[in-house]
Amino acid sequence: MPDRLIDLISDTATKPTPAMRQAMYDAPVGDDMMGEDPTVNLLEAMSADLLGKEAAVFLSSGTMCNLIGILLHTRPGDEVILEAHNHPYTAEGGGAAAFGGVSFHLIQGTKGFYTAQQVLEAINPDDQHYARSAMVSLENATGGRVWPFEQFQDVARTAHANGLKTHTDGARLMNAVVASGISAREWVAEMDTAWIDLSKGLGAPVGGVLAGTAKDMAQARRYRKMLGGAMRQAGVIAAAGVYALQHNIERLAEDHANAKRLAEGLAEIPGIRIDPADVETNLVFFDTSDTGLTPAEISAGLLERGVRMGGWSPRFRAVTHLDISTADIDIALEAMREVVVG
């Protein structure tokens, strides 16, 4: 196996750059529980401004951002409307049910998107027999694709018109911003809460920032404490987020270009099914059913050649990020061709 691993399993695989590490080393710190950490305060102010919200709270993970967003907008017994493949339902350990006592109404979207009409159909009647429909959660980008802007806004306005709160899962929101040319504050203008993930494409080692009204963010701090997520001299890690917002947003376009290059190369390998047109940001999904190899065989063959991708079913996922170069993409493609074709 080669000495260096080309790790395409997720954009969470990024390592802090030397410059980011230096910023972390140099960060002034204080007690964040007392509101006295200047670096955390700076990160929260920058994030609130970026998203056009009154206030923001630095949290330890995107999962916590989603959970607190749900807790802010629901009470036990309520129902959250979201697309069937969205993260709060598929990959957050049942936290919303365990800590919020809520259930999900799953919408079967098209490429991760759904319509205002589907929201209307998902809202329960105001009847004691049904769970109260309380909020709509939208993930953008979703599955690597950017929502059609007007459709995104229409869903949010329809939710508000029917008394529901709105929340954006911002795991890759900045990818959607760069891919669309639409600012973050425009995307989330109709959102009651939204968040930015720092630990994916932006390259920080940990954390996310949730934003909303000052009142909601005060309650978010209380929930953070209750969930064990309150921190003290957190400026050391917040500094990575500050650096990321200052230096790593525009460069996401490089990841998108590398993802497109990977998709176009995969499409030329016999047995692999992919439409490069579906690749809009940094996520590349492809089907290996026609290769005659199992996902385990493909994954093992790639790993022997120093490449790692997510292959838990015939549907593989590869994710580009700041630690992946164009040369790495070409190496990964050659490795895949060797494994599949021989």
**How confident is the model at residue 3, as a pLDDT?**
84
**How confident is the model at residue 21, as a pLDDT?**
98
Check whether 176 has a pLDDT greater than 90: yes
**How confident is the model at residue 205, as a pLDDT?**
97
**What confidence tens digit (pLDDT) does each residue in 294-336 have?**
999 999 999 999 999 998 889 999 999 999 999 999 999 999 9
- Cα 168 to Cα 156, 197, 234, 319: the distances in Å are 10, 11, 25, 21
Q: What is the pTM of this model?
A: 0.96
Check whether 97 has a pLDDT greater than 80: yes
What percentage of the chain exceeds 70 in pLDDT? 100
Check whether 63 has a pLDDT greater than 80: yes
**How confident is the model at residue 121, as a pLDDT?**
98
Hey, is 237 helix, strand or coil?
helix
Torsion sign over Cα 170, 91, 78, 104: positive
**How confident is the model at residue 154, as a pLDDT?**
98
* 297: CB partners within 8 A, 6+ apart: 339
Strand partners, 317: 285, 310
Torsion sign over Cα 304, 305, 306, 311: negative
For strand 55-59 and strand 208-212, is the pairing parallel, antiparallel, or unpaired? antiparallel
Check whether 36 has a pLDDT greater than 80: yes
Q: Indicate the pLDDT class of residue 123, thresholds 50, 70 and 90.
A: very high
pLDDT, mean over the chain? 97
Q: Indicate the pLDDT class of residue 245, thresholds 50, 70 and 90.
A: very high
Q: Indicate the pLDDT class of residue 83, thresholds 50, 70 and 90.
A: very high
**How confident is the model at residue 2, as a pLDDT?**
78
Q: Distance between CA atoms of 231 and 266, rounded to whole angstroms? A: 44
Check whether 1 has a pLDDT greater than 80: no
Neighbour-count burial for 199-236, b at 16+ CB within 10 Å, e otherwise: bbbbbbbbbbbbbbeeebbeebbebbeebebbbebbbb
> How is the chain split into domains, by residue range?
18-247, 251-340
CATH architecture of structural domain 251-340:
Alpha-Beta Complex (3.90)
What is the average per-residue pLDDT within 88-101?
A: 97
**How confident is the model at residue 52, as a pLDDT?**
98
Q: Distance between CA atoms of 63 and 80, rounded to whole angstroms? A: 16
**How confident is the model at residue 342, as a pLDDT?**
86
At 9, list the tokens: 């399993």
**What confidence tens digit (pLDDT) does each residue in 251-282 have?**
999 999 999 999 999 999 999 999 999 999 99
Q: Which CATH class is domain 18-247?
A: alpha beta
One-letter amino acid for residue 321 of the chain? H
What is the average per-residue pLDDT within 141-150?
A: 97
